[in-house]
Amino acid sequence: MKKRKNIKRRGRPLSNEALLDVQALIKDMPLQRDLLIEYLHLIQDKYQCLAVEHLHALATILKISQTEVYEVASFYHHFDIVKEGDQKPASLTVRVCDSVSCELAGAEELVATLESAIGKEVRVQRVPCVGRCESAPIAVVGTNPVSQATTEKVIDEVKAGNTSDSAPENAIRYDNYVKDGGYELYKRVVEKEHHHEDILAAKDDSKLRGLGGAGFPVGRKWRIVRDQPAPRLMAVNIDEGEPGTFKDRYYLERDPHRFFEGMLIASEVVGTAAIYIYLRDEYAGLRELLEQELAVIKEKLPDVPPIYLRRGAGAYICGEESAMIESIEGKRGMPRLRPPYLAEVGLFGRPTLEHNMESLYWVREIVEKGADWFISHGRNGRQGLRSFSVSGRVKNPGVYLAPAGITLRELVDEYCGGMLDGQELYGYFPGGASGGILPASKADIPLDFDTLNEHGAFIGSAALIVFSDQDSAREVATNAMNFFRHESCGQCTPCRVGTEKAMKLMQQDEWNTDLMGELSTVMMDASICGLGQAAPNPMDCVIKYFPNETKKGFDKKSPKSGGVTS
Protein backbone atom coordinates (compact mmCIF):
# COMPACT_ATOMS: atom_id res chain seq x y z
CA MET A 1 0.00 0.00 0.00
CA LYS A 2 1.35 3.40 -1.05
CA LYS A 3 2.07 5.87 1.66
CA ARG A 4 0.06 9.09 1.37
CA LYS A 5 2.15 12.20 0.97
CA ASN A 6 1.70 15.02 3.40
CA ILE A 7 -0.97 17.28 1.97
CA LYS A 8 -0.39 20.98 2.43
CA ARG A 9 -3.52 22.65 3.70
CA ARG A 10 -4.79 25.49 1.55
CA GLY A 11 -5.91 28.81 2.88
CA ARG A 12 -4.59 31.29 5.38
CA PRO A 13 -3.49 29.90 8.76
CA LEU A 14 -5.39 31.37 11.69
CA SER A 15 -3.42 33.87 13.76
CA ASN A 16 -3.92 33.27 17.46
CA GLU A 17 -2.92 36.87 18.16
CA ALA A 18 -5.57 38.18 15.74
CA LEU A 19 -8.13 35.83 17.26
CA LEU A 20 -7.44 37.22 20.73
CA ASP A 21 -7.62 40.79 19.37
CA VAL A 22 -11.08 40.28 17.86
CA GLN A 23 -12.40 38.33 20.83
CA ALA A 24 -11.38 41.17 23.14
CA LEU A 25 -13.11 43.75 20.94
CA ILE A 26 -16.47 41.97 20.70
CA LYS A 27 -16.57 40.32 24.12
CA ASP A 28 -19.34 42.61 25.39
CA MET A 29 -21.57 42.04 22.37
CA PRO A 30 -23.89 39.15 21.55
CA LEU A 31 -22.58 36.79 18.88
CA GLN A 32 -24.96 37.26 15.94
CA ARG A 33 -24.44 37.08 12.18
CA ASP A 34 -26.46 40.28 11.63
CA LEU A 35 -23.92 42.21 13.76
CA LEU A 36 -21.11 41.58 11.28
CA ILE A 37 -20.88 45.22 10.19
CA GLU A 38 -20.87 46.36 13.83
CA TYR A 39 -17.94 44.02 14.53
CA LEU A 40 -16.09 45.35 11.48
CA HIS A 41 -16.55 48.90 12.77
CA LEU A 42 -14.97 47.95 16.10
CA ILE A 43 -11.91 46.56 14.32
CA GLN A 44 -11.67 49.53 11.94
CA ASP A 45 -11.99 52.02 14.81
CA LYS A 46 -9.31 50.28 16.84
CA TYR A 47 -6.71 49.68 14.12
CA GLN A 48 -7.74 52.24 11.43
CA CYS A 49 -7.96 49.35 8.98
CA LEU A 50 -9.16 45.76 8.55
CA ALA A 51 -6.18 43.41 8.40
CA VAL A 52 -6.92 40.12 6.63
CA GLU A 53 -5.85 38.19 9.72
CA HIS A 54 -8.54 39.99 11.72
CA LEU A 55 -11.13 39.19 9.04
CA HIS A 56 -10.07 35.53 9.19
CA ALA A 57 -10.38 35.55 12.98
CA LEU A 58 -13.85 37.15 12.81
CA ALA A 59 -15.01 34.55 10.29
CA THR A 60 -13.78 31.81 12.62
CA ILE A 61 -15.60 33.27 15.61
CA LEU A 62 -18.86 33.64 13.67
CA LYS A 63 -18.41 30.22 12.00
CA ILE A 64 -18.89 31.62 8.53
CA SER A 65 -16.59 31.66 5.49
CA GLN A 66 -13.83 34.20 5.06
CA THR A 67 -15.38 35.06 1.70
CA GLU A 68 -18.61 36.07 3.39
CA VAL A 69 -16.78 38.45 5.72
CA TYR A 70 -14.54 39.81 2.98
CA GLU A 71 -17.36 40.55 0.53
CA VAL A 72 -19.21 42.59 3.16
CA ALA A 73 -16.09 44.45 4.31
CA SER A 74 -15.06 45.29 0.74
CA PHE A 75 -18.54 46.59 -0.20
CA TYR A 76 -18.53 49.59 2.17
CA HIS A 77 -16.35 52.67 1.61
CA HIS A 78 -15.49 53.25 5.27
CA PHE A 79 -13.64 49.97 5.67
CA ASP A 80 -9.95 49.82 4.68
CA ILE A 81 -8.86 46.23 4.00
CA VAL A 82 -5.12 45.65 4.28
CA LYS A 83 -3.67 42.46 2.82
CA GLU A 84 -0.49 40.79 3.99
CA GLY A 85 2.52 42.82 2.95
CA ASP A 86 0.48 45.92 2.11
CA GLN A 87 1.16 49.20 3.83
CA LYS A 88 -1.42 50.27 6.39
CA PRO A 89 -3.16 53.60 5.82
CA ALA A 90 -2.04 56.63 7.80
CA SER A 91 -3.24 56.73 11.38
CA LEU A 92 -5.32 59.82 10.59
CA THR A 93 -7.49 60.47 7.54
CA VAL A 94 -8.80 63.86 6.45
CA ARG A 95 -11.84 63.39 4.24
CA VAL A 96 -12.83 66.23 1.93
CA CYS A 97 -16.30 66.20 0.43
CA ASP A 98 -16.25 66.77 -3.33
CA SER A 99 -20.00 66.59 -4.07
CA VAL A 100 -21.91 69.42 -5.75
CA SER A 101 -22.32 71.92 -2.88
CA CYS A 102 -18.72 71.52 -1.74
CA GLU A 103 -17.39 71.68 -5.29
CA LEU A 104 -19.20 75.00 -5.75
CA ALA A 105 -17.57 76.22 -2.52
CA GLY A 106 -14.01 75.33 -3.57
CA ALA A 107 -13.44 71.70 -2.61
CA GLU A 108 -11.08 71.08 -5.55
CA GLU A 109 -8.69 73.80 -4.44
CA LEU A 110 -8.93 72.60 -0.83
CA VAL A 111 -7.96 69.04 -1.78
CA ALA A 112 -5.04 70.23 -3.89
CA THR A 113 -3.58 72.49 -1.20
CA LEU A 114 -4.11 69.98 1.59
CA GLU A 115 -2.35 67.20 -0.27
CA SER A 116 0.75 69.36 -0.69
CA ALA A 117 0.69 70.99 2.75
CA ILE A 118 -0.44 68.43 5.29
CA GLY A 119 2.36 65.86 5.17
CA LYS A 120 2.54 62.15 4.44
CA GLU A 121 1.63 61.11 7.99
CA VAL A 122 -1.98 62.19 7.29
CA ARG A 123 -4.05 60.75 4.46
CA VAL A 124 -6.20 63.17 2.43
CA GLN A 125 -9.14 61.42 0.83
CA ARG A 126 -11.89 62.64 -1.49
CA VAL A 127 -15.30 61.45 -0.36
CA PRO A 128 -18.90 61.92 -1.52
CA CYS A 129 -21.43 64.02 0.40
CA VAL A 130 -21.08 63.91 4.20
CA GLY A 131 -24.43 65.57 4.96
CA ARG A 132 -23.19 69.03 5.98
CA CYS A 133 -23.81 70.94 2.75
CA GLU A 134 -24.86 74.13 4.53
CA SER A 135 -21.26 74.50 5.78
CA ALA A 136 -19.45 73.79 2.51
CA PRO A 137 -16.70 73.08 1.86
CA ILE A 138 -16.44 70.38 4.49
CA ALA A 139 -13.37 68.50 5.64
CA VAL A 140 -13.62 65.77 8.27
CA VAL A 141 -10.53 65.30 10.44
CA GLY A 142 -10.93 61.78 11.78
CA THR A 143 -14.60 62.15 12.71
CA ASN A 144 -14.41 65.88 13.49
CA PRO A 145 -16.20 67.97 10.81
CA VAL A 146 -14.57 71.29 9.94
CA SER A 147 -17.10 73.79 8.53
CA GLN A 148 -16.16 76.24 5.77
CA ALA A 149 -12.87 74.41 5.72
CA THR A 150 -9.63 76.02 4.64
CA THR A 151 -6.21 74.44 4.54
CA GLU A 152 -5.18 76.49 7.59
CA LYS A 153 -8.25 75.48 9.62
CA VAL A 154 -7.77 71.80 8.84
CA ILE A 155 -4.06 71.81 9.70
CA ASP A 156 -4.82 73.62 12.97
CA GLU A 157 -7.33 70.90 13.91
CA VAL A 158 -4.83 68.18 13.06
CA LYS A 159 -2.08 69.81 15.11
CA ALA A 160 -4.44 70.31 18.06
CA GLY A 161 -5.45 66.66 17.96
CA ASN A 162 -9.13 67.52 17.43
CA THR A 163 -9.99 64.33 15.59
CA SER A 164 -13.28 63.27 17.20
CA ASP A 165 -16.80 64.60 16.83
CA SER A 166 -18.88 64.94 19.99
CA ALA A 167 -22.56 64.98 20.87
CA PRO A 168 -24.28 68.33 20.11
CA GLU A 169 -24.31 70.49 23.23
CA ASN A 170 -27.63 72.27 22.63
CA ALA A 171 -29.82 69.24 22.01
CA ILE A 172 -33.02 68.95 24.07
CA ARG A 173 -32.38 66.08 26.47
CA TYR A 174 -34.94 63.74 28.01
CA ASP A 175 -35.74 65.74 31.17
CA ASN A 176 -36.35 69.00 29.32
CA TYR A 177 -38.38 67.25 26.65
CA VAL A 178 -40.63 65.70 29.32
CA LYS A 179 -41.11 69.10 31.00
CA ASP A 180 -42.61 70.29 27.71
CA GLY A 181 -45.17 67.47 27.68
CA GLY A 182 -42.94 64.95 25.95
CA TYR A 183 -44.02 61.27 25.94
CA GLU A 184 -47.47 62.10 27.35
CA LEU A 185 -49.07 61.30 24.00
CA TYR A 186 -47.10 58.06 23.76
CA LYS A 187 -48.20 57.01 27.25
CA ARG A 188 -51.85 57.71 26.36
CA VAL A 189 -51.49 55.62 23.21
CA VAL A 190 -49.98 52.73 25.17
CA GLU A 191 -52.74 52.94 27.77
CA LYS A 192 -55.35 53.08 24.96
CA GLU A 193 -56.63 56.44 26.22
CA HIS A 194 -55.76 57.74 22.77
CA HIS A 195 -57.22 55.18 20.37
CA HIS A 196 -55.03 53.85 17.60
CA GLU A 197 -57.65 54.69 15.01
CA ASP A 198 -57.54 58.33 16.06
CA ILE A 199 -53.81 58.40 15.41
CA LEU A 200 -54.27 56.80 12.00
CA ALA A 201 -57.08 59.23 11.15
CA ALA A 202 -54.81 62.17 12.01
CA LYS A 203 -52.17 60.81 9.63
CA ASP A 204 -54.74 60.33 6.88
CA ASP A 205 -56.36 63.73 7.36
CA SER A 206 -53.03 65.56 7.43
CA LYS A 207 -52.08 63.95 4.11
CA LEU A 208 -48.60 63.45 5.52
CA ARG A 209 -46.39 61.60 3.05
CA GLY A 210 -43.06 59.90 3.51
CA LEU A 211 -40.36 62.56 3.69
CA GLY A 212 -37.41 60.46 2.63
CA GLY A 213 -38.13 60.94 -1.05
CA ALA A 214 -40.74 58.41 -2.17
CA GLY A 215 -43.71 60.29 -0.71
CA PHE A 216 -45.92 57.29 0.16
CA PRO A 217 -48.88 58.28 2.40
CA VAL A 218 -47.89 57.62 6.02
CA GLY A 219 -51.33 56.54 7.31
CA ARG A 220 -51.78 54.05 4.50
CA LYS A 221 -48.34 52.54 5.11
CA TRP A 222 -49.12 52.05 8.82
CA ARG A 223 -52.40 50.29 8.00
CA ILE A 224 -50.79 47.99 5.43
CA VAL A 225 -48.10 46.81 7.84
CA ARG A 226 -50.50 46.55 10.80
CA ASP A 227 -52.62 44.10 8.79
CA GLN A 228 -49.67 41.75 8.24
CA PRO A 229 -49.06 38.73 10.50
CA ALA A 230 -46.95 39.18 13.64
CA PRO A 231 -44.16 39.51 14.54
CA ARG A 232 -43.77 42.78 12.69
CA LEU A 233 -40.63 44.93 12.77
CA MET A 234 -39.76 48.57 12.22
CA ALA A 235 -36.74 50.09 10.43
CA VAL A 236 -35.94 53.81 10.46
CA ASN A 237 -33.80 55.18 7.65
CA ILE A 238 -31.40 57.96 8.68
CA ASP A 239 -28.77 57.16 6.09
CA GLU A 240 -29.38 60.57 4.42
CA GLY A 241 -26.76 60.14 1.71
CA GLU A 242 -28.41 62.21 -1.04
CA PRO A 243 -26.06 65.10 -1.93
CA GLY A 244 -27.65 68.29 -0.67
CA THR A 245 -29.68 66.64 2.11
CA PHE A 246 -29.04 67.34 5.79
CA LYS A 247 -32.49 67.95 7.34
CA ASP A 248 -32.54 64.72 9.39
CA ARG A 249 -29.25 65.59 11.08
CA TYR A 250 -30.45 69.15 11.67
CA TYR A 251 -33.59 68.05 13.53
CA LEU A 252 -31.97 65.24 15.49
CA GLU A 253 -29.11 67.42 16.73
CA ARG A 254 -31.70 69.75 18.26
CA ASP A 255 -34.71 67.66 19.35
CA PRO A 256 -34.05 63.90 19.14
CA HIS A 257 -36.89 62.92 21.51
CA ARG A 258 -39.56 64.35 19.21
CA PHE A 259 -38.39 61.74 16.70
CA PHE A 260 -38.18 59.02 19.36
CA GLU A 261 -41.73 59.69 20.53
CA GLY A 262 -43.10 59.57 16.99
CA MET A 263 -41.19 56.35 16.42
CA LEU A 264 -42.60 54.74 19.57
CA ILE A 265 -46.15 55.85 18.74
CA ALA A 266 -45.83 54.32 15.26
CA SER A 267 -44.47 51.12 16.77
CA GLU A 268 -47.36 50.91 19.23
CA VAL A 269 -50.07 51.61 16.64
CA VAL A 270 -48.66 49.17 14.09
CA GLY A 271 -47.64 46.62 16.70
CA THR A 272 -43.96 46.09 15.94
CA ALA A 273 -41.90 43.78 18.11
CA ALA A 274 -38.59 45.63 17.69
CA ILE A 275 -37.18 48.82 16.16
CA TYR A 276 -33.96 49.18 14.15
CA ILE A 277 -32.51 52.65 13.54
CA TYR A 278 -30.01 52.88 10.66
CA LEU A 279 -27.78 55.96 11.02
CA ARG A 280 -25.18 57.05 8.50
CA ASP A 281 -21.62 56.61 9.72
CA GLU A 282 -20.62 60.21 9.03
CA TYR A 283 -22.79 61.42 11.94
CA ALA A 284 -20.44 60.33 14.74
CA GLY A 285 -21.42 63.05 17.22
CA LEU A 286 -25.09 62.49 16.53
CA ARG A 287 -24.64 58.76 17.08
CA GLU A 288 -23.17 59.50 20.51
CA LEU A 289 -26.18 61.69 21.34
CA LEU A 290 -28.70 59.06 20.21
CA GLU A 291 -26.93 56.32 22.17
CA GLN A 292 -27.02 58.44 25.32
CA GLU A 293 -30.69 59.34 24.99
CA LEU A 294 -31.79 55.83 24.00
CA ALA A 295 -30.20 54.57 27.20
CA VAL A 296 -32.31 57.09 29.16
CA ILE A 297 -35.49 56.06 27.33
CA LYS A 298 -34.92 52.39 28.13
CA GLU A 299 -34.52 53.33 31.80
CA LYS A 300 -37.42 55.81 32.07
CA LEU A 301 -39.86 54.03 29.74
CA PRO A 302 -39.34 50.36 30.60
CA ASP A 303 -42.14 49.00 28.39
CA VAL A 304 -40.70 50.22 25.07
CA PRO A 305 -39.90 47.53 22.49
CA PRO A 306 -36.23 46.62 21.92
CA ILE A 307 -34.50 49.44 20.03
CA TYR A 308 -31.27 48.81 18.10
CA LEU A 309 -29.08 51.59 16.69
CA ARG A 310 -27.17 50.32 13.68
CA ARG A 311 -24.26 52.11 12.07
CA GLY A 312 -23.97 52.54 8.30
CA ALA A 313 -20.57 52.19 6.67
CA GLY A 314 -20.49 54.65 3.80
CA ALA A 315 -22.77 53.44 1.03
CA TYR A 316 -25.31 55.79 -0.58
CA ILE A 317 -27.21 52.82 -1.95
CA CYS A 318 -28.26 51.94 1.62
CA GLY A 319 -30.61 54.90 1.51
CA GLU A 320 -32.75 52.64 -0.70
CA GLU A 321 -35.06 50.88 1.73
CA SER A 322 -34.38 47.26 0.77
CA ALA A 323 -30.60 47.86 0.58
CA MET A 324 -30.81 49.33 4.08
CA ILE A 325 -32.60 46.17 5.26
CA GLU A 326 -29.82 44.03 3.80
CA SER A 327 -27.22 46.18 5.59
CA ILE A 328 -29.04 45.91 8.93
CA GLU A 329 -28.91 42.14 8.45
CA GLY A 330 -25.11 42.42 8.17
CA LYS A 331 -24.89 41.94 4.41
CA ARG A 332 -23.84 43.96 1.40
CA GLY A 333 -26.33 46.75 0.76
CA MET A 334 -27.79 45.29 -2.43
CA PRO A 335 -31.36 46.36 -3.33
CA ARG A 336 -33.88 43.54 -3.43
CA LEU A 337 -36.08 42.67 -6.36
CA ARG A 338 -39.75 43.45 -5.64
CA PRO A 339 -42.33 42.10 -5.08
CA PRO A 340 -42.48 41.01 -2.31
CA TYR A 341 -42.45 44.44 -0.68
CA LEU A 342 -40.97 45.23 2.73
CA ALA A 343 -44.43 45.57 4.25
CA GLU A 344 -44.83 41.84 3.55
CA VAL A 345 -41.30 40.43 3.64
CA GLY A 346 -38.79 42.84 5.10
CA LEU A 347 -36.20 42.72 7.86
CA PHE A 348 -35.31 39.12 8.77
CA GLY A 349 -38.17 38.00 6.53
CA ARG A 350 -40.83 39.70 8.66
CA PRO A 351 -43.37 42.41 7.70
CA THR A 352 -41.54 45.71 8.22
CA LEU A 353 -42.62 49.32 8.67
CA GLU A 354 -39.84 51.33 7.01
CA HIS A 355 -39.75 55.09 7.54
CA ASN A 356 -37.58 58.14 7.07
CA MET A 357 -36.76 59.95 10.30
CA GLU A 358 -38.67 63.13 9.47
CA SER A 359 -41.90 61.24 8.71
CA LEU A 360 -41.88 60.22 12.39
CA TYR A 361 -40.62 63.56 13.69
CA TRP A 362 -43.98 65.22 12.93
CA VAL A 363 -46.24 62.55 14.46
CA ARG A 364 -46.64 64.21 17.87
CA GLU A 365 -47.07 67.68 16.37
CA ILE A 366 -49.82 66.61 13.98
CA VAL A 367 -51.77 64.61 16.56
CA GLU A 368 -51.60 67.32 19.26
CA LYS A 369 -52.27 70.30 16.99
CA GLY A 370 -54.59 68.47 14.64
CA ALA A 371 -54.47 67.64 10.96
CA ASP A 372 -56.13 70.98 10.14
CA TRP A 373 -53.13 72.81 11.59
CA PHE A 374 -50.77 70.95 9.26
CA ILE A 375 -52.79 71.33 6.07
CA SER A 376 -53.56 75.00 6.83
CA HIS A 377 -50.05 75.75 5.58
CA GLY A 378 -49.23 75.75 1.91
CA ARG A 379 -48.97 77.89 -1.17
CA ASN A 380 -49.95 77.68 -4.80
CA GLY A 381 -52.65 75.11 -4.22
CA ARG A 382 -50.52 72.76 -2.09
CA GLN A 383 -51.05 71.79 1.55
CA GLY A 384 -48.74 71.10 4.47
CA LEU A 385 -45.20 71.96 5.51
CA ARG A 386 -41.90 70.87 4.00
CA SER A 387 -38.37 70.89 5.39
CA PHE A 388 -36.02 72.20 2.71
CA SER A 389 -32.26 71.63 2.88
CA VAL A 390 -30.82 74.58 0.96
CA SER A 391 -27.18 74.90 -0.06
CA GLY A 392 -25.13 76.47 -2.82
CA ARG A 393 -24.99 80.10 -3.93
CA VAL A 394 -27.37 81.59 -1.35
CA LYS A 395 -26.48 83.94 1.49
CA ASN A 396 -27.97 81.81 4.27
CA PRO A 397 -27.89 78.09 3.50
CA GLY A 398 -29.61 75.79 6.00
CA VAL A 399 -32.78 73.86 6.80
CA TYR A 400 -36.01 75.84 6.46
CA LEU A 401 -39.51 74.73 7.38
CA ALA A 402 -41.70 76.39 4.76
CA PRO A 403 -45.16 75.95 3.22
CA ALA A 404 -45.49 73.12 0.72
CA GLY A 405 -45.79 74.57 -2.76
CA ILE A 406 -43.44 77.49 -2.13
CA THR A 407 -41.30 78.23 -5.18
CA LEU A 408 -37.53 78.22 -5.37
CA ARG A 409 -37.48 81.95 -5.97
CA GLU A 410 -39.70 82.61 -2.93
CA LEU A 411 -37.66 80.30 -0.74
CA VAL A 412 -34.36 81.93 -1.68
CA ASP A 413 -35.68 85.48 -1.25
CA GLU A 414 -37.79 85.01 1.89
CA TYR A 415 -35.79 82.42 3.84
CA CYS A 416 -32.22 82.34 2.50
CA GLY A 417 -31.47 86.06 2.30
CA GLY A 418 -31.25 86.00 -1.49
CA MET A 419 -28.41 84.98 -3.78
CA LEU A 420 -24.79 85.73 -2.93
CA ASP A 421 -23.76 89.26 -3.83
CA GLY A 422 -22.86 89.65 -7.48
CA GLN A 423 -24.43 86.32 -8.52
CA GLU A 424 -27.66 85.64 -10.34
CA LEU A 425 -29.77 82.50 -10.19
CA TYR A 426 -28.90 80.23 -13.12
CA GLY A 427 -30.31 76.86 -12.09
CA TYR A 428 -31.01 74.48 -9.23
CA PHE A 429 -31.34 70.87 -8.15
CA PRO A 430 -34.85 70.60 -6.62
CA GLY A 431 -34.31 67.16 -5.10
CA GLY A 432 -30.62 66.55 -4.54
CA ALA A 433 -28.28 65.07 -7.12
CA SER A 434 -30.93 62.61 -8.36
CA GLY A 435 -33.79 65.11 -8.65
CA GLY A 436 -32.69 66.64 -11.94
CA ILE A 437 -31.67 70.22 -12.73
CA LEU A 438 -33.99 73.10 -13.60
CA PRO A 439 -33.04 76.50 -15.05
CA ALA A 440 -33.83 79.89 -13.55
CA SER A 441 -36.83 80.14 -15.85
CA LYS A 442 -38.40 77.28 -13.84
CA ALA A 443 -37.85 78.91 -10.44
CA ASP A 444 -41.55 79.72 -10.02
CA ILE A 445 -42.83 76.13 -10.06
CA PRO A 446 -44.41 75.01 -6.73
CA LEU A 447 -42.00 72.79 -4.81
CA ASP A 448 -43.92 69.73 -3.70
CA PHE A 449 -44.57 66.11 -4.56
CA ASP A 450 -45.71 65.51 -8.14
CA THR A 451 -45.42 69.16 -9.27
CA LEU A 452 -42.01 68.80 -10.91
CA ASN A 453 -42.51 65.51 -12.73
CA GLU A 454 -43.68 67.04 -16.01
CA HIS A 455 -40.45 69.07 -16.11
CA GLY A 456 -38.23 65.99 -15.80
CA ALA A 457 -37.40 66.54 -12.12
CA PHE A 458 -38.71 65.60 -8.67
CA ILE A 459 -38.52 66.98 -5.15
CA GLY A 460 -37.36 63.79 -3.39
CA SER A 461 -36.17 64.74 0.09
CA ALA A 462 -36.38 68.47 -0.76
CA ALA A 463 -32.63 69.02 -1.06
CA LEU A 464 -32.19 72.25 -3.01
CA ILE A 465 -28.75 73.03 -4.43
CA VAL A 466 -28.68 76.48 -6.00
CA PHE A 467 -26.08 77.54 -8.57
CA SER A 468 -25.47 80.86 -10.28
CA ASP A 469 -24.49 82.48 -13.55
CA GLN A 470 -20.86 81.95 -12.52
CA ASP A 471 -21.32 78.16 -12.62
CA SER A 472 -21.86 75.60 -15.35
CA ALA A 473 -24.88 73.29 -15.45
CA ARG A 474 -22.76 70.83 -17.39
CA GLU A 475 -20.13 70.70 -14.67
CA VAL A 476 -22.54 70.27 -11.76
CA ALA A 477 -24.34 67.53 -13.71
CA THR A 478 -21.03 65.77 -14.35
CA ASN A 479 -20.27 65.97 -10.63
CA ALA A 480 -23.63 64.32 -9.90
CA MET A 481 -23.02 61.56 -12.45
CA ASN A 482 -19.58 60.88 -10.99
CA PHE A 483 -21.25 60.48 -7.62
CA PHE A 484 -23.69 57.91 -9.02
CA ARG A 485 -20.87 56.06 -10.76
CA HIS A 486 -18.96 55.86 -7.49
CA GLU A 487 -22.00 54.77 -5.47
CA SER A 488 -23.54 52.19 -7.81
CA CYS A 489 -23.66 48.87 -5.97
CA GLY A 490 -22.84 47.06 -9.22
CA GLN A 491 -25.67 44.55 -8.96
CA CYS A 492 -27.36 45.40 -12.27
CA THR A 493 -25.69 46.12 -15.61
CA PRO A 494 -27.80 49.16 -16.64
CA CYS A 495 -26.63 51.08 -13.58
CA ARG A 496 -23.12 49.69 -13.18
CA VAL A 497 -22.13 50.10 -16.84
CA GLY A 498 -24.56 52.94 -17.58
CA THR A 499 -23.14 55.38 -15.03
CA GLU A 500 -19.60 54.62 -16.20
CA LYS A 501 -20.54 55.13 -19.86
CA ALA A 502 -22.54 58.29 -19.10
CA MET A 503 -19.58 59.76 -17.24
CA LYS A 504 -17.29 59.23 -20.23
CA LEU A 505 -19.83 60.73 -22.62
CA MET A 506 -20.29 63.79 -20.41
CA GLN A 507 -16.53 64.42 -20.34
CA GLN A 508 -16.36 64.78 -24.13
CA ASP A 509 -16.09 68.28 -25.58
CA GLU A 510 -19.24 67.80 -27.60
CA TRP A 511 -22.01 65.63 -26.23
CA ASN A 512 -23.50 62.88 -28.36
CA THR A 513 -27.03 63.68 -27.22
CA ASP A 514 -28.69 60.96 -29.30
CA LEU A 515 -26.52 58.25 -27.74
CA MET A 516 -27.02 59.79 -24.30
CA GLY A 517 -30.78 59.67 -24.81
CA GLU A 518 -30.65 55.96 -25.64
CA LEU A 519 -28.44 55.27 -22.64
CA SER A 520 -30.78 57.22 -20.37
CA THR A 521 -33.80 55.23 -21.54
CA VAL A 522 -32.07 51.90 -20.85
CA MET A 523 -30.96 53.01 -17.37
CA MET A 524 -34.40 54.30 -16.41
CA ASP A 525 -36.28 51.29 -17.76
CA ALA A 526 -33.98 48.44 -16.70
CA SER A 527 -32.18 49.41 -13.49
CA ILE A 528 -33.27 47.49 -10.40
CA CYS A 529 -33.56 50.45 -8.03
CA GLY A 530 -33.93 54.20 -7.90
CA LEU A 531 -30.20 54.95 -8.12
CA GLY A 532 -29.85 53.75 -11.70
CA GLN A 533 -33.33 54.94 -12.64
CA ALA A 534 -32.66 58.52 -11.46
CA ALA A 535 -28.96 58.80 -12.34
CA PRO A 536 -29.57 60.13 -15.90
CA ASN A 537 -31.78 62.99 -14.67
CA PRO A 538 -29.05 65.67 -14.37
CA MET A 539 -27.62 64.71 -17.78
CA ASP A 540 -31.06 64.75 -19.42
CA CYS A 541 -31.85 68.15 -17.88
CA VAL A 542 -28.68 69.73 -19.24
CA ILE A 543 -29.60 68.50 -22.72
CA LYS A 544 -33.15 69.83 -22.34
CA TYR A 545 -32.64 73.14 -20.53
CA PHE A 546 -29.00 74.11 -21.18
CA PRO A 547 -28.47 72.89 -24.79
CA ASN A 548 -25.56 75.21 -25.63
CA GLU A 549 -23.54 73.66 -22.80
CA THR A 550 -23.51 70.35 -24.66
CA LYS A 551 -21.66 71.78 -27.66
CA LYS A 552 -18.00 72.03 -28.50
CA GLY A 553 -16.45 75.37 -27.76
CA PHE A 554 -18.80 76.18 -24.89
CA ASP A 555 -17.23 78.90 -22.77
CA LYS A 556 -17.21 77.53 -19.21
CA LYS A 557 -16.29 80.96 -17.87
CA SER A 558 -19.56 82.40 -19.19
CA PRO A 559 -22.05 79.56 -18.75
CA LYS A 560 -25.10 81.80 -18.74
CA SER A 561 -24.73 82.34 -22.48
CA GLY A 562 -25.48 78.68 -23.05
CA GLY A 563 -28.55 78.18 -20.90
CA VAL A 564 -32.25 78.60 -21.48
CA THR A 565 -33.12 81.63 -19.36
CA SER A 566 -36.59 82.46 -20.55
Q: What is the pLDDT of residues 179-236, one digit of tens each?
A: 999 999 999 999 988 889 999 999 999 999 888 777 889 999 999 999 999 999 999 9
Instruction: Say what the pLDDT of residue 559 is.
Output: 47
Could you report the per-residue pLDDT of 362-405, keeping only the tens digit for each? 999 999 999 999 999 999 999 999 999 999 999 999 999 999 99
Residue (of 367, 358, 387, 360) closest to 205 by Cα position: 367
Close Cβ partners of 248 (under 8 Å, ≥ 6 residues apart): 238, 240, 356, 357, 358
Report, as an integer, the average pLDDT of 457-478. 96
* Dist. CA 369–CA 52, nearest whole Å: 55
pLDDT band at 563 (very low <50, low <70, confident <90, very high): very low
The answer to whether residue 554 scores a pLDDT higher than 90 is no
Q: Checking phi first, is residue 104 left (phi over 0); if not, alpha (psi -120 to 50) or beta?
A: alpha
Given pLDDT bands bounded at 50, 70 and 90, which one contains residue 5? low
**Mean pLDDT within 323-352:** 97
| pLDDT tens digits, 397-448 | 999 999 999 999 999 999 999 999 999 999 999 999 999 999 999 999 999 9
pLDDT at 565 over 50: no
Of 415, 421, 376, residue with least CA distance to 396: 415
The model's pLDDT over 486-509, given as tens digits with 9 standing for 90+, comes to 999 999 999 999 999 999 999 999
Give residue 452's pLDDT band: very low, low, confident or very high (50, 70, 90). very high
Decide: 308 and 277 in contact? Cβ < 8 Å: yes
Q: Going from the N-terminus, what domains does the chain have, and what CATH number goes with each? A: 16-82 (1.10.10.1590), 92-160 (3.40.30.10), 174-368 (3.40.50.11540), 385-468 (3.10.20.600), 473-562 (1.20.1440.230)
Single pTM value for the model: 0.95
Question: How far is the C-alpha of 524 from the C-alpha of 320, rounded, in Å?
Answer: 16
Backbone angles phi, psi at 405, to 5 degrees: 90, -5
